Structure 1
Amino acid sequence: MNGGTMMKRWLKGSSYTLEPYISLYVFLFVLFVIGVIFGASLVGSLSFLQKQDLLFFVEQYFQSFTEQSRQLTLSELVNSFWTHGKYVTFLFLFGLSFIGLPVVWFLLFIKGIVIGFTVGFLVNQLTWQGFLISLTSVAPQNLLIVPAYLLIVASSMIFCIHVMKMLFAKGKSYYTIGQAMSLYFKSYLIALLIILGGSVIEAFISSQAMYFILK
């Protein structure tokens, strides 16, 4: 059996996170988008002085960022992966229990707020420069990182659904608790691999793009 076939079968083991749960992914995506919109709207609620204070810290960060040597190092990749990997791990752990599901939804919503507020503030204060910075330094890695968050949150919900079926509706689940846990853990590993890809983009592409834009 070649490596490609083995990988295909291994990924197929996590197929329970894809179909027939499309509506679940739509729900989580909408929840995330609401968070983004809410985060962007928070910018408008800030007073002029609050915006100026925050802009001062942003400009200080940009200045220190451009003064640093922009040699590509693994430390940036490790820091990025550690940051996002911790977040995914928290989602995974909270998703192990039905009680933790509201926390998982809240963390996903908070992630949307952070992204929405960041992009909204940059565009509000720096206009087209802020939009360009957001487009090149915020968006690229999140094209992978956000789907990884959606994957692990959806997987946690599906895991809880199967456990509830096993406990309260005998014979309604296709999996044992051990099998469901194994599939959930596989989804976690897949999410980490996606996070690693996003971290590579953030460390080696987005940071360089932002450096040249700020220069």
Structure 2
Amino acid sequence: MNQKGFLVSLKEYLHENKWFYLISLLFLFTGIVIGIYVILYMGDTYKQDISSYFLNFADQFNSIDINKEKILLGGLKSNLIMIGAIIILGIIIVGVPIIFIINIIKGFTIGFSTGVIINSMGLKGGLVILASIVPQNLLYVSAIIITSVFSCEMALNRLKSRLNKNSYGNKQCLSNYIPLCICIGVMLILGAIIEAYFIPTILKYII
């Protein structure tokens, strides 16, 4: 397929699944808001304890021996588990609502982390967020959203196939599976590399 044909196919795919993308993003942003809300409105004692723990970690950050390989493997493992769960839930059809719950959970972790940093460091926390949360999560979140939409599409096609008693929809959906896996794999690897090898170095100049 030439570049023009690929772009046309991509445009059609995005148009056909725009509602799945919108719903997935809605649940993700809902999770982010909930995560920030939990930090902002929790009791002062808990808030101070979390801030103290984070600031203590930040003060010792430059002297900590960072195991980059462990961070790399940890980033890959946690996100692969999440993406694997989303794919399985799409296969069993009735798991689609849980896919959106996973989107909320991912958003919550981002929102909670953002809330902790802002609450602990104020305006300086904005730089820390841009350096430590945004870069890898642009890739992680993109991978999760793409997988969520694919799994929802797969579940819908499987449901249609059962109702119409044919397997064309399944075969058509599965034909996109290999390039999808490659795309997601590249995103996860790049995100983990950024998280493990670039972010710690950048943070040392900010904190």
- How big is each residue's C-alpha offset from its partner over 1:38-73, in whole Å with a ceiling of 9 and x where there is no partner? 2111112211110111122223433453222468x5
With over 3 angstroms needed to count, the CA separation of the structure-2 counterparts of 1:23 and 1:102, relative to structure 1, is closer
Unaligned runs of 5+ in 2: none
Matched, 1:113 2:116: no
> Hey, what does 1:80 align to over in structure 2?
75
In structure 2, the partner of 1:36 is: 32
| Aligned match of 2:176 | 183
Q: Which residue of 1 aligns with 2:132?
A: 137
Select 1:198's aligned residue among 191, 199, 202.
191
Which letter does structure 2 place at the counterpart of 1:104?
I
Go from structure 1 to structure 2 and tell me whether the alpha carbon gap of 1:12 and 1:85 turns closer, same or farther (over 3 Å shift): farther
Q: Distance in 1 between matches of 2:65 and 2:134?
A: 23
Where does 1:147-162 land on structure 2 (aligned, <5 Å)?
A: 147-162=142-157
**SS of the counterpart of 2:15?**
coil
Q: Let me know the Cα RMSD of the aligned residues.
A: 2.9
Cα distance change, pair 12–163 in 1 and its aligned pair in 2 (3 A): farther
What aligned pairs does 1:3-14 form with structure 2 within 5 A after superposition?
Answer: none
Cα distance, 1:196–1:9 mapped onto 2, change above 3 Å: farther
For residues 161-209 of structure 1, what are the alpha-carbon distances to aligned partners after superposition, in whole Å with 9 as ceiling and x for unaligned?
11111110356x7x35344334345423421221111112111222211
CA 1:188–1:9 in 2, change beyond 3 Å: closer, same or farther? Answer: farther
The Cα of 1:122 is off from its aligned counterpart by 1.1
**2:50 match:** 54
Counterparts in 2 of 1:104 and 1:140: CA distance versus 1, 3 Å: same
Whether 1:20 aligns to 2:55 is no
Query: Which one of 146, 156, 163 corresponds to residue 168 of structure 1?
Result: 163
* Structure 2 counterpart SS, 1:19: helix
The separation in 2 between residues aligned to 1:43 and 1:145, in whole angstroms, is 23
Identical aligned residues as a percent: 22
What residue identity is the alignment partner of 2:111? G
Number of aligned residue pairs: 207
Q: Distance in 2 between matches of 1:75 and 1:11?
A: 38
Contact 1:81-1:195 within 8 A present in 2 as well? yes
TM-score by length of 2: 0.85
In structure 2, the CA distance between the partners of 1:7 and 1:199, relative to structure 1 (3 Å rule), is: farther
| Distance in 2 between residues matched to 1:62 and 1:12, nearest whole Å | 48
Letter in 1 for 2:21: Y
**Residues 92 and 152, structure 1, Cα contact 8 Å, conserved in 2:** yes
Shift, 1:23, TM fit = 2.4
CA separation of 1:29 and 1:48: change in aligned 2, threshold 3 A: same
